[in-house]
Amino acid sequence: MESFDVSALYTNVSNDSAMQAISEMLSEHAGSINLYSFSVHQLMTILKACLSCNIFSCSSKHFALIRGLAMGQRLALTLAIAFMSRIEAPVLQCRPLLYCRYIDDCFVIYTTQAEMDKCFELMNEQSGHIKLTKDTSQNDWLPFLNVQINIANGICRTKWDRKPSDKNISVHFLSAHPAYAKKAIVTNMFRTATRVCSVSEEREESLALAQRVAAMNGSTNQISRSTRHKGVVRQSRDSTHADKMPFCLPFISDEVSTDIRQCLRRVAIDKYVSVVEILPNNLKRQLIRNRMYDRICSTAKCVVCPEGRIGDCMSSGVIYLIACKSCGEDAEQMIEQKQMEHREAMRKLALQEQKALQRLEEIVDTIQADGPPSRSTSR
């Protein structure tokens, strides 16, 4: 009994093998799949066009992904599963006692260790870029996905498991989120820890682990204790929630949300309107977005934003180039301030040029009226 895992599956997928696997699956199950008036050939043409356009930009330079799948691509998961079906095909022909796979995590049972080693080598030989790693049982327990499995005397036992690399970080109980959302996270964790266990002994151990994880994220003992005794809580507070009109509001606090619901109840429209709280942005969303605080232009008669995007004039700490010899460059200044300084410098230069032209015209007029000045020599 061992579990296999593919190292960096998405970036090492062979696109040609994945497309061939998709084509074979579509041809085999074409009669039971709704292709929406497309033929298998047309779908493969569209798929090839999507895979041939794996282009991304970095530092204003464009790159093409030659091998593998992009992590954010919608087709990546489907193609990865199809690719793994070709990798595992020779193993299935060897008829193991049990073979299970979830994307790239495989659980295999053979009668002898020699057959297990042969299966592992066979899967590693299917592609030059695919490398599998295997986990063996420790203390008679084998980790697979989010459970640990033990088979002894023909009896299979399971318990909830957390990987050693897991930091056990979730939404903290003191964060600015609705109370029901934070309770749901804890409830789902306890529900999972309960359902994946086979007997009461492992269930108590899994619940103790879930209790520690909940405490690390600030959950109160009352919530954890009540969830522990309930085991499985009801899924929905209102069965007609989907039939109501959503009333979206930014989440401020549980008290404000309760007051709004009471107001809707007093005016007798709570049967038709459901309050939907929009959660605030977390630190992750703020870090991955690069135009969070510079979208508002407060400059009267702005000359920068009409030529670009709204809020560009308030940007600071950016690198830019103004092809002008009359003023220097300072990346610490905002673009709007830099633009104003540039225009002021140009205005002063134009004023100086105008004064110089006026002085030159005065000299020319004087010469024309009085004639050229006389020359005198001194001895």
Residue 165 or 265, more confident: 265
Helices (H), the chain: 15-28, 40-51, 76-93, 113-124, 179-195, 200-216, 221-230, 254-266, 283-288, 335-370
Contacts of 363 (CB under 8 A, 6+ apart): none
d(CA 279, CA 186): 18
371: left (phi > 0), else alpha (psi -120 to 50), else beta? left
Amino acid identity, position 313:
C
Burial of 189 (0-12, 13-18, 19+ CB in 10 A): buried
d(CA 62, CA 55): 7
Say yes or no to pLDDT of 341 above 50: yes
Q: What is the mean pLDDT of residues 127-137?
A: 85
Q: What is the mean pLDDT of residues 364-372?
A: 72
pLDDT at 314: 61
Q: Tens of pLDDT along 209-254?
A: 888 888 888 886 544 444 444 444 444 454 456 678 888 888 888 8
Run of H or E including 106: strand 105-109
Say yes or no to pLDDT of 353 above 70: yes
- Tell me which residue has tokens 């030989």: 125
Contacts of 76 (CB under 8 A, 6+ apart): 10, 69, 70
Say yes or no to pLDDT of 200 above 60: yes
Say yes or no to pLDDT of 332 above 50: no
Cα angle for residues 12, 16, 19 (degrees, 5° grid): 105
DSSP letter assigned to residue 53: T
Pairing assessment for the beta strands 147-152 and 155-160 based on DSSP bridges:
antiparallel
Q: Is 85 helix (H, G, I), strand (E, B) or coil?
A: helix
Q: Tens of pLDDT along 57-70?
A: 777 777 777 778 87
pLDDT at 333: 54
Look up residue 307 and give its two tokens.
């030529």
Mean pLDDT, all residues of the chain: 77
Q: Tens of pLDDT along 76-102?
A: 888 888 888 888 888 888 888 899 999
pTM of the entire predicted model:
0.59
CB-hemisphere CA count at 13 Å for 100? Answer: 9
Residue 210 or 331, more confident: 210
d(CA 219, CA 208): 14
pLDDT at 45: 92
pLDDT at 305: 67
Q: What are phi and psi of 124, to 5 degrees?
A: -70, -20
Q: Tens of pLDDT along 9-19?
A: 888 887 888 88
Amino acid identity, position 117:
D
Q: Tens of pLDDT along 279-307?
A: 776 666 655 444 444 456 666 777 666 65
Look up residue 27 and give its two tokens.
């041809």
> Around Cβ 158, how many Cβ atoms within 10 Å?
19
Amino acid identity, position 35:
L
206 in Cβ contact with 197 (< 8 Å): yes
Q: Tens of pLDDT along 157-192?
A: 999 988 877 888 888 887 777 888 888 888 899 999
Q: What is the mean pLDDT of residues 315-330?
A: 50
Q: Is 249 helix (H, G, I), strand (E, B) or coil?
A: strand
Say yes or no to pLDDT of 22 above 80: yes
Contacts of 317 (CB under 8 A, 6+ apart): 331, 332
